[in-house]
Amino acid sequence: MRQPNNMILETALKLLLFFIVLFSIYIFTAGHYYPGGGFIGGLMTAGAIVLLLITYDIKTVQKILPVDYRIVTAIGLLFSIGTSAGALFFNVPFLTHVFTHVEVPVLGDLALHTATIFDLGVYFVVIGVTMTIILTIGEDE
Amino acid sequence: MAFQILLNIVLAYLWMFIKVSFDPVSFVKGYLFGLVVIFVLRRFFRSRFYLFRIWSFIKLTLIFLKELLLSNIAIVKIVLKPKLTMHPGIFALQTNLTKDWQITLLSSLITLTPGTLVIDISEDNRTLFVHAMDIGEVQDEISGIKNTFEKAILEVSR
């Protein structure tokens, strides 16, 4: 069985991967005002990693991204629970979010919202769960 | 080429800092003056002056658009013929390109022009196997691809 020559796929991926990841980050940040958010952004980032898995093998991808995806899931859950439970310290109900406008010298007016951190937790959970499922299916010998 | 573009941007920033005016207009002015300076001192660099490369890339795009139009018309002719007189076939194309991105670009251009399609690359990246929808004269096909796309890609990477 002759191994196919993946040269074209690898070269195209070297360029396309960065575009996909950047677009997924945009989708994640646009979630408050436009369609998007943590779930779809996390799925798209996981899709980029799956594209890496299709092009190379699992060992190479583990070298490129030395991440344990179960820990990523745990960190995401911690983010979400932490932002929800933080409301309890200020005597307001669970899951109450606050937002402020902050004047940063260079960037100008930033609207900071704690729901973004909650969404970041969702983002990490989606990446972790998707990659755990795919890797456990792919790794069984 | 990347170094020249970076140097040009740094020169534009230097111009902005000298003039103490941080707006896009002065950036563009500084960029243009830097372009002139780099053009005059272009023999310092090992590669060509980068505007020439950008110009040859535009030429490659125009060649591709022309080929796309012509081969589309040829395919429509074949499809609309009442008799099926085409002869599909696979031929090997020896390429002189060495770098990965050059071969990827060449195979993408061959695939995007209708009628020809890259199936596989040999192990040593020297031979492309191309499927042609109507294989008339193999030598004509090869020389056609060589004279248009390969020459233009070599021109870009010179």
> What CA–CA distance (Å, rounded) separates B118 from B132?
9
> What CA–CA distance (Å, rounded) separates B74 from B64?
15
- The partner residues of B89 in beta bridges, in order of sequence, read B132
At residue A4, does pLDDT exceed 80?
Answer: no
φ/ψ of residue A25, rounded to 5? -65, -40
A3 versus A121: the higher-pLDDT residue is A121
> What CA–CA distance (Å, rounded) separates A118 from A82?
8
Minimal Cβ distance to B120: which of A5, A10, A11:
A5
The DSSP secondary structure of B66-132, one letter per residue, reads HHHHHHHHHHHHHHH-SS-----EEEEEE----SHHHHHHHHHHHHHSTTEEEEEE-TTS-EEEEEE
Contacts with B101 from chain A: Cβ below 8 Å: 11
pLDDT band at A123; cut points 50, 70, 90: very high
Contacts with A12 from chain B: Cβ below 8 Å: 104
pLDDT by residue (tens digit) across A94-113? 888 888 777 777 777 777 88
User: Which of 55-114 (B) contact A at CB < 8 A?
Assistant: 100-101, 103-104, 107-108
Contacts with B121 from chain A: Cβ below 8 Å: 5, 7-8
A10–B120 C-beta distance less than 8 A: no
Mention every residue, 6+ apart, whose C-beta is less than 8 A from residue B146. Answer: none
Q: Which of A64, A49, A50, A52 is nearest to A13 (CA)?
A: A52
> What CA–CA distance (Å, rounded) separates A74 from A128?
8
Contacts with A4 from chain B: Cβ below 8 Å: 120
Predicted pLDDT of residue A44:
95
Mean pLDDT score across all residues of chain B: 86
> What CA–CA distance (Å, rounded) separates B101 from B89?
27
Position A34: which residue type? Answer: Y
What is the residue whose two structure tokens read 């941080």? B22
Mention every residue, 6+ apart, whose C-beta is less than 8 A from residue A7. Answer: B100, B103, B104, B121, B125
Q: Which of A2, A5, A11 to mutate to test the interface with B (most CBs of B within 10 A)?
A: A11
pLDDT band at A141; cut points 50, 70, 90: low
Residue in A closest to B105 by C-alpha = A8
Q: Left if phi > 0, otherwise alpha if psi is -120 to 50, otherwise beta: which for A92?
A: beta
Predicted pLDDT of residue A47:
94
Chain A contact for B124 (CB, 8 A cutoff):
no
Within a 10 A sphere around the Cβ of B48, how many other Cβ atoms? 13
Position B56: which residue type? Answer: S
> What CA–CA distance (Å, rounded) separates A18 from A39?
19
Predicted pLDDT of residue B33:
92
Predicted pLDDT of residue A103:
78
Contacts with B103 from chain A: Cβ below 8 Å: 7-8, 11
Minimal Cβ distance to B101: which of A4, A5, A11:
A11
Predicted pLDDT of residue A1:
59
Strand pairing report for A108-113 and B89-94: unpaired
Q: Which residues does chain B have with pLDDT short of 50? A: none
Chain A contact for B125 (CB, 8 A cutoff):
yes
- Burial category of B104 from C-beta neighbours within 10 Å (exposed 0-12, middle 13-18, buried 19 and up): buried
pLDDT by residue (tens digit) across A32-86? 889 988 999 999 999 999 999 999 888 888 899 999 999 999 999 999 999 888 8
At residue A114, does pLDDT exceed 80?
Answer: yes
pLDDT band at A2; cut points 50, 70, 90: low
